[in-house]
């Protein structure tokens, strides 16, 4: 997406709307970070809270949006909502998404909805029962043993 999305052009369109002073939480967050967060949210169809959690949990997303947890905070869901309201007020929310879709089509590419796969190692219930079953299990016969050979009728 680094090569496909016209980031500078989109930032120029957004610059007149983005707050640079006042009490808005957006003042403390780089405009490009919020724009990238907006697109991650669109591409993966995440709500504000899920986006926040994904950014806390997933290093590739943080790298894409430009967040280093050693020095940066992940913007709160309310800040994400504020940014979306800003885009909607400036009538940019649809324009930005359509711009990217058009650019992808010109490049012969298409965007499909993404998904995250989250895996976890979980304890097995009744571990003691499993250990006991393994201890009591009979070993499988070796393929060369007589138990593994098919029975042939004697001639």
Q: What does the pLDDT read at residue 95?
A: 85
Q: What is the DSSP letter of 28?
A: G
Query: Phi first, then psi: what are they for 100, rounded to 5°?
Result: -70, -45
In this structure, the number of other CB atoms found within 10 A of the CB of residue 70 comes to 5
Query: What pTM was estimated for this model as a whole?
Result: 0.69
**DSSP class of 18:** S
**Residue 61: pLDDT over 50:** yes
**Residue 120 above 50 pLDDT?**
no
Give the model's confidence band at 134: pLDDT under 50 very low, under 70 low, under 90 confident, else very high.
Answer: low
């Amino acid at each position: 997406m680094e090569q496909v999305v016209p980031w500078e052009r989109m930032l120029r369109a957004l610059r007149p709307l983005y707050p640079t002073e006042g009490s808005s939480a957006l003042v403390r967050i780089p405009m490009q970070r919020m724009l990238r967060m907006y697109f991650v949210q669109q591409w993966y169809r995440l709500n504000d809270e899920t986006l926040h959690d994904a950014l806390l949990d997933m290093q590739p997303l943080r790298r894409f949006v430009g967040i280093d947890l050693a020095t940066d905070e992940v913007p709160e869901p309310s800040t994400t909502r504020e940014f979306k309201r800003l885009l909607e007020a400036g009538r940019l929310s649809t324009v930005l998404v359509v711009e990217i879709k058009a650019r992808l089509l010109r490049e012969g590419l298409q965007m499909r909805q993404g998904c995250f796969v989250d895996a976890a190692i979980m304890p097995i219930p009744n571990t003691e029962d499993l250990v006991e079953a393994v201890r009591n299990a009979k070993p499988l016969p070796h393929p060369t043993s007589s138990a593994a050979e098919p029975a042939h009728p004697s001639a």
